[in-house]
């Protein structure tokens, strides 16, 4: 009984060190710690639960399971150091950049790239709905990098 608190203290300190190591931007250690906190919260609130649900879902027989990660932010939303906000993919899937005035999304300020990415996202989703597969992955990668 005497040793348990000592081991717990060491465990907590080790866990703290691991978390700090994982969320440190080693390319720029002086970078704002706020970005690391946002990354940590994103992983804790969205990525980890989504992965857990997908893992459980994939255990069911004949239940294909898919996850995706969106890292593209439309110009109309502004560029944010904090990354892409949760739910931004809905603007792409429902075609906000190519359908002016669609509520509840922003209807102006979209770039040509935004429109192209929107069309690709809509194609991916419709292909996935009809066939269970997406295509043209290289198209999105090369378009976003230009």
pLDDT tens-digit readout, 119-145: 888 888 888 888 877 765 544 444 444
pLDDT band at 52 (very low <50, low <70, confident <90, very high): very high
What does the mean pLDDT of the chain come to? 76
Asked if 110 contacts 74 with a C-beta cutoff of 8 angstroms, the reply is yes
- The answer on pLDDT for 5 being more than 70 is no
Burial class from Cβ neighbours inside 10 Å (0-12, 13-18, 19+) for residue 23 reads: middle
Asked if 23 contacts 39 with a C-beta cutoff of 8 angstroms, the reply is yes
The predicted structure's pLDDT at residue 77 = 66
Segments of the chain assigned E as strands: none
Asked if 72 contacts 84 with a C-beta cutoff of 8 angstroms, the reply is yes
pLDDT tens-digit readout, 73-114: 776 666 666 667 778 888 888 888 888 767 777 667 788 888
Q: Buried (b) or exposed (e) across 83-115, using 16+ Cβ within 10 A? A: ebeeeebebbebebbeeeeeeebeeeebeeebe
3-state helix, strand, coil in the chain (%, to 5): 55, 0, 45
């Amino acid at each position: 009984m005497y040793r348990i608190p000592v081991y717990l203290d060491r465990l907590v300190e080790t866990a703290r060190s691991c978390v700090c190591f994982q969320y440190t931007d080693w390319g720029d250690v002086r970078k704002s710690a706020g970005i690391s906190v946002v990354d940590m919260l994103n992983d804790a609130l969205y990525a980890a639960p989504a992965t857990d649900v997908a893992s459980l879902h994939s255990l069911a027989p004949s239940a294909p399971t898919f996850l995706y990660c969106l890292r593209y932010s439309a110009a109309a939303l502004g560029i944010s150091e904090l990354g892409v906000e949760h739910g931004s993919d809905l603007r792409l899937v429902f075609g906000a950049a190519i359908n002016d005035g669609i509520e509840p999304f922003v209807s102006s300020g979209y770039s040509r790239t935004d429109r192209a990415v929107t069309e690709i996202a809509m194609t991916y989703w419709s292909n996935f709905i009809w066939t269970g597969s997406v295509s043209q992955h290289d198209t999105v990668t090369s378009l976003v990098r230009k």
